[in-house]
A and B are shown apart, each in its own frame.
Chain A
Amino acid sequence: MARSSTAASRLANARPDSLRSAGDGSLSREQKLELYYYMRLTRSLEERLVNLYRQTKVVGGLFRSLGQEADAEGSAYALDRSKGDVLSPLIRNLGSMLVQGAKPNEIIKQYMAKGDSPTRGRELNIHYGDLVRGFIGQISHLGDMVPVMAGVTLSFKMRKQDRVGLVYVGDGATSTGAFHEGINFAAVQRCPLVVVVENNGYAYSTPLKKQTAAKQLVDKAIGYGIAGEQADGNDVIATYEATKRAVDRARAGGGVTLVELITYRRKGHAEHDNQSYVPPGEIDRWASENDPIDRYAKRLLSEGEGGGGGFDQSQLAATDKRVLEEIDRATDEAEASPMPDPTDALVGIYADPPAIAPLWFRQGIKSAVDVHERPSSWGTHDV
């Protein structure tokens, strides 16, 4: 599939028409509404986390994907969960995890460092995974998930499975050695892998022009001998369509695709970041003119004009209400959850022995070893 030739003048908040979706991605009505649901869920869940953060109930930092919901949701939606596709998110891809089945209460418990969070208080924020549902937890070292997902998809190829993997990196991670090694390895092996480069303009405070001399990140595909796609990351349908082409290509044996999704990070690297390095007016412009949820809502409503079987405001409002109710329930559950038993820290470094001995100045392991078995809902092998 041809990739767009338009280099988006993205920081000027351009919306190059060639990157926008022409069609509707052949999505059903239910699917279109579901996409809206996931975008709204992501944003509202993060807004709830901001409240909890301000109440000092979030133990660590808080990472937002405000304004980037369309690219995470639209791309993840292109995977086929029924076939066992697997993705590995980055810090601004909460939405992709929700699409794969992550639950709001898990996310809140993770942020609150609870003992019954998916990582039992060992890891932060959205750093967790579940192979049964098809997402693998990231680590903080950017680019490292590319080789890992190369291996996940290599196993699909070796076992002749009809499955695809998707890995997210940001514009900054394209500068890492791991990104290069991983994408090159996957390209040579023709792994069924989609590499989504989420170009949001900044890596912490570093703008794209200090990250690379490339005119556009999708150009890197040429050097690896793989297909490239580029789409307006704030257009959820365009994002879905571009990623779907890549997923279909991978499933058909066509190997790796680099998909560049152009978006904008409206919040700082994390909640503490005051974004002093951002030119005045830039954030407001993106917020007022190019909000992915506003754009999508407008689109859904306009499709309904003239009685075309589209959506009306009450349907979107009902979705918004449902999202808030879910988040209320999830918050209540997370707040009621216990903090971890300290001795659980010594369990599960190895399969055998399941726990290590405490240091001489600490108390024993208590019953932690007895409960070290992971919940049965968690995938291990052969999934």
Chain B
Amino acid sequence: MSEVTYLEAIREALFEEMDRDENVFCLGEDIGAYGGAFKVTEGLMAKYGEERVIDTPISEAAIIGAAAGAAHMGMRPVCEMQFIDFISTGYDMLTNYVATARYRSMLPCPMVVRGPSGGYVRGGPFHSQNPEAAFLHTPGLKIVYPATASDAKGLLKSAIRDEDCVLYFEHKYLYRRIKEQMPDGDHLTPIGKARIAREGKDVSIITYAATVWKALEAAEQLEKEDGLSVEVIDLRTILPMDDEAIIATVKKTNRVLIVHEDTRTGGVAGEITARINENAFEWLDAPVLRVTAADVPLPYSPPLEDYVLPQTSDIVLGLRKLAAY
């Protein structure tokens, strides 16, 4: 078996799930005849037809709302946001309708909303966003954000089979930059379980998505230059959060750096910090530190974007500060 990219892994998951279950269908803008803005859904319409691969009007609220209605009836819709930045125009449908359906009306809403996310690609303020924190605050939703090709496949397949709505963020910087041999058979990555991306004993990094790779680079550098052993936790699922994995790494290294590409204030790192504070305060030897984007809309020009987004060198600084504390 040859290696497949992160993007191809997502496409494999879609093909496999549409093969497996006739209730699975895709809807979104330009996903059918054109194959999607990034060609994630290329070939799907040719195989499954325009009934199951629906090119929609530019209507994110209708895409998400219609998916919810179809999901109530037992379908398994997979919505594409052409860029995940546009999910904000479906925010009402997701947070008020979809997320509450089971709780208030005992109506299951098994659906996936996926889309290209994240920066480092010179996309500017509206083609680079990481909207996970906006939805972390909504009970009833699940959020996954894979960092590897095999998790991209396994998490999407799990998301499609989940009984609730899963927001599946895929990092467009990783689309064609990473490759991996896919595990054999029906590969499912469990939702709600973090992964130890690198074992270590001196300092922990808790992160997810593209910054997992920057964390691994920084860990490598610290080992070479400082002789430090750095553990890297890839959360994979942001909601529900894997408290067990977070607490385990705190107890192991007693020093934690949280890294995410999203902006700082009200970000996921704050929630992780609070959980560590509540559950493992006495295990800490240093304050929990954050390396995140600055609190600005993400600018376009390379010197600006590079300055705003967290870089490997920022993570190295954070690790050294923690190790010396």
- Tell me the A residues contacting B by CB distance below 8 Å: 119, 122-123, 127-129, 131, 136-137, 139-141, 144, 146-156, 158, 177-178, 181-182, 184-186, 188-189, 348-353, 356, 360, 374, 378, 380-383
Q: In the complex the two chains form, what is the Cα distance from A148 to B75 in whole Å?
A: 13
Q: Is the CB of B96 within 8 A of A141?
A: yes
- Dominant secondary structure of chain A at its interface with chain B: loop
Chain A's closest residue to B105 (CB) is A137
- A150-B62, A349-B140 given as contacts; is B72 within 8 A of A144 (CB)? no
Q: Is the CB of B164 within 8 A of A350?
A: yes
Q: Is the CB of A148 within 8 A of B65?
A: yes
Interface: B71 (CB within 8 A): yes
From B74, B77, B96, B103, contact of A382 by CB (8 A): B74
- A129-B105, A182-B65, A349-B102 given as contacts; is B93 within 8 A of A151 (CB)? no
Some 17 contacts from A to B, beta carbons below 8 A apart, are A119-B105, A123-B105, A127-B104, A131-B72, A144-B92, A147-B61, A147-B66, A148-B68, A150-B62, A151-B71, A155-B69, A155-B74, A181-B60, A185-B56, A349-B140, A353-B240, A381-B108
Interface: B15 (CB within 8 A): no
Q: In the complex the two chains form, what is the Cα distance from A351 to B166 in whole Å?
A: 12
Q: In the complex the two chains form, what is the Cα distance from A360 to B103 in whole Å?
A: 22
In the bound complex, residues from chain B placing their C-beta under 8 Å from that of A350 are 102, 140, 142, 163-164, 240
- Tell me the B residues contacting A by CB distance below 8 Å: 25, 51-52, 54, 56-57, 59-75, 77, 92-93, 96-97, 100, 102-108, 139-140, 142, 162-164, 240, 278
State the Cβ distance, B66 to closest chain A Cβ, in Å: 3
From A140, A146, A151, contact of B67 by CB (8 A): A151
From A137, A186, A353, contact of B107 by CB (8 A): A137
Q: In the complex the two chains form, what is the Cα distance from A119 to B103 in whole Å?
A: 8
State the Cβ distance, A277 to closest chain B Cβ, in Å: 27
State the Cβ distance, B98 to closest chain A Cβ, in Å: 9
Q: In the complex the two chains form, what is the Cα distance from A136 to B51 in whole Å?
A: 24
Q: Is the CB of A383 within 8 A of B73?
A: yes
- A352-B163, A374-B106 given as contacts; is B96 within 8 A of A139 (CB)? yes
Q: Is the CB of A185 within 8 A of B73?
A: no
- A147-B93, A151-B71 given as contacts; is B102 within 8 A of A122 (CB)? no
- A141-B92, A144-B93, A349-B140 given as contacts; is B104 within 8 A of A151 (CB)? no
Q: Is the CB of A147 within 8 A of B70?
A: no
Chain A's closest residue to B59 (CB) is A181
- A139-B100, A147-B61 given as contacts; is B106 within 8 A of A158 (CB)? no
State the Cβ distance, A345 to closest chain B Cβ, in Å: 9
Q: In the complex the two chains form, what is the Cα distance from A380 to B108 in whole Å?
A: 7
Q: Is the CB of B73 within 8 A of A152?
A: yes
State the Cβ distance, A66 to closest chain B Cβ, in Å: 26
Since A158-B25, A182-B61 are in contact, a sample of 14 more A-B pairs with Cβ atoms closer than 8 Å, ordered by chain A residue number, is A129-B105, A129-B107, A131-B107, A139-B96, A141-B92, A151-B66, A155-B70, A155-B74, A158-B70, A178-B62, A178-B65, A348-B103, A349-B102, A356-B139
State the Cβ distance, A126 to closest chain B Cβ, in Å: 12
Q: In the complex the two chains form, what is the Cα distance from A350 to B162 in whole Å?
A: 10
Q: Is the CB of A184 within 8 A of B96?
A: no
In the bound complex, residues from chain B placing their C-beta under 8 Å from that of A127 are 104-105
Q: Is the CB of B74 within 8 A of A381?
A: yes
State the Cβ distance, B227 to closest chain A Cβ, in Å: 40
Q: Is the CB of A148 within 8 A of B140?
A: no
Q: Is the CB of A150 within 8 A of B69?
A: yes
State the Cβ distance, B3 to closest chain A Cβ, in Å: 33
Q: In the complex the two chains form, what is the Cα distance from A128 to B103 in whole Å?
A: 11
Q: In the complex the two chains form, what is the Cα distance from A219 to B29 in whole Å?
A: 28
In the bound complex, residues from chain B placing their C-beta under 8 Å from that of A137 are 104-105, 107
In the bound complex, residues from chain A placing their C-beta under 8 Å from that of B107 are 129, 131, 136-137, 380
In the bound complex, residues from chain B placing their C-beta under 8 Å from that of A185 are 56-57, 59, 62-63, 66
Q: In the complex the two chains form, what is the Cα distance from A356 to B240 in whole Å?
A: 10
Q: Which 7 A-B pairs have the closest CB atoms?
A: A147-B65, A151-B69, A151-B66, A351-B163, A181-B62, A381-B74, A181-B59
Q: Is the CB of B70 within 8 A of A151?
A: yes
Q: Is the CB of A348 within 8 A of B96?
A: no
Chain B's closest residue to A119 (CB) is B104
In the bound complex, residues from chain A placing their C-beta under 8 Å from that of B56 are 185, 188
In the bound complex, residues from chain A placing their C-beta under 8 Å from that of B61 are 144, 147, 177-178, 181-182
Q: Is the CB of A158 within 8 A of B105?
A: no
